[in-house]
Amino acid sequence: MRLGVLDVGSNTIHLQVVDTHPGARPNPTFNYKEELRLTEFLTPDNEINAQGIETLRKTIKRAVDEARRVKVEELLPFATSALREANNGEAIIKAMNSDFEIDLQVLSGEDEAKLTFLAARRWFGWSSGRLLVVDIGGGSLEIGVGVDESPEVATSLPLGASRLTQKFLSGDPYTEKGIRAMREHIESQLESVLPALVKHQDTDRAIATSKTLRTLARLCGDWFDGNGKTIKVDAIRKISSRLSGMSYDERARLPGVSGNRARQIVAGAYVTESVMRNLDLRELEICPWALREGVVLKWMDWMESGSEFHKPIK
C-alpha cells in the first residue's frame, strides 16, 4: 500500500510517501517539502492572517497534487502547533478539508509526543528498555518516557525553535539580551514538567528525533569527537555558545544547515542544552524515525485491527 503522510507543521509542509503493508517496515519512496513558517503570519490576536491562509492554501494544493501524481492510495494529513494554537485554526482546517477533499486533523501536543515515542520504540525495539524521547519542532518541544509502545509520560511545551527565534532573537548576530531572555524563558517552561520527568531519569536510552536535533548531532560530529549520531551534553553546551556568536551567513554556510535552519538552530541548541542539563542526560542518541513514521505505524496498527482512521484521497 502506498501511503502519503502530509505534515502541516510550523516551519514546513512535508509530504512523505511510503510503501508498506501490515507488519512491514515503512519504505520511503518520495518526499515533497516546502518552507512555510506559519508563525510569521500570526497577528497580535493570534490568528493566521489572510496572506498566511492563502500561502497555506497554495502549498497544501501543491502537496495534494503531488500525492495524486505519485498515486498515493491513502493520505494521512495532520497539523501541529501553529494551526492547533491559532484562534482561527479550526476554521482554516475546515475550509482546507472542504476545498481539497482531505481529512486534515489537528494533533494535540500529547499526541505528537506519543506518536514520536512509538516511532522510536519500533526503531530501537523492546531490548532498548526504558526510553526517554525528545523532539524539537518549529512550534513545540515534545518529551515522552516509558517502557512500552505508549509512554508513561507524554508532554508538550511551546518551546519550538521557530517560535522562540521569532519571539526572542533579533540582530545579526543575535543580541546577548535576546539570548538571555530566551534562556530564562526555556528554564521557566521546563520547570513546569520537571517533577513528572525527574523520576524517569533512570532511563536506559535517551533518544533525539527531528531535523533540528539531527543537525545538532552533525555539528557535534564535525566540531568535536563524534560520529554525527549522538549529542553529548558537553558538546551541546559549547555548540550553543558558538552558534549564538555567529552571524546568519556564517551559520548558513555550515554543512547540513539550510537557510531556514540557520535562523532557528541557535534556539534549538539552547532548548537541547537545557533539557539535557535539567534531566541530567549525558548523551542523546539520534533516531531516524519521528512523528511522520509514528503516524504511519499507528495507522497500520489500526488497519490490522480493522478500525478506520482516514478517508482515502480522491
For the stretch 237-249, pLDDT in tens is 999 999 999 999 9
Which CATH topology does 110-286 take? Nucleotidyltransferase; domain 5 (3.30.420)
- Give the C-alpha separation, 105 to 91, whole Å: 12
CB neighbourhood size of 161 (10 A): 30
Ranges for all domains in the chain classified under CATH 3.30.420.150: 110-286
Chain mean position to CA 265: 13
Burial label for 22, CB within 10 Å (0-12, 13-18, 19+), is exposed
Strand ranges across the sheet with 205-209 = 153-157, 141-146, 131-136, 205-209, 283-286, 230-232
The pLDDT-based confidence of 307 (bands split at 50, 70, 90) is low
Class of domain 2-106: alpha beta
Residues 10 and 78 sit within 8 Å (Cβ to Cβ): no
| Percent residues over pLDDT 90 in the chain | 84
For the stretch 191-219, pLDDT in tens is 988 887 876 667 899 999 999 999 999 99
For the stretch 15-33, pLDDT in tens is 999 999 877 889 999 999 9
- Give the C-alpha separation, 275 to 62, whole Å: 37
Taking the C-alpha atoms of 166, 170, 176 and 180 in order, what is their torsion angle to the nearest 10 degrees? Answer: -20
Residue ranges of the alpha helices (H) in 159-305? 161-168, 176-191, 194-198, 211-223, 233-244, 248-252, 259-278, 291-305
- Of the candidates 194, 157, 153, the one whose C-alpha atom is nearest the C-alpha of residue 81 is 157
Angle at 2 between CA 79 and CA 298, to 5 degrees: 50
Residues 142 and 108 sit within 8 Å (Cβ to Cβ): no
Would the pTM of this model clear 0.85, i.e. be above it? yes
* Average pLDDT of the chain, as a whole number: 93
Ranges for all domains in the chain classified under CATH 3.30.420.40: 2-106
Residues 22 and 302 sit within 8 Å (Cβ to Cβ): no
Angle at 39 between CA 36 and CA 43, to 5 degrees: 125
Q: What is the pLDDT of residue 312?
A: 43
For the stretch 69-125, pLDDT in tens is 999 999 999 999 999 999 999 999 999 999 999 999 999 999 999 999 999 999 999
Report the relative pairing of strands 205-209 and 131-136 from DSSP bridges. Answer: parallel
- Give the C-alpha separation, 280 to 233, whole Å: 9
Residues 159 and 165 sit within 8 Å (Cβ to Cβ): no
Q: What is the pLDDT of residue 314?
A: 44
Q: Which residue has the higher pLDDT, 29 or 305?
A: 29
- Give the C-alpha separation, 171 to 235, whole Å: 25
Write the DSSP symbol of residue 175: P
Give me the residues paired with residue 283 across strands. Answer: 232
Taking the C-alpha atoms of 45, 94, 85 and 16 in order, what is their torsion angle to the nearest 10 degrees? Answer: -130
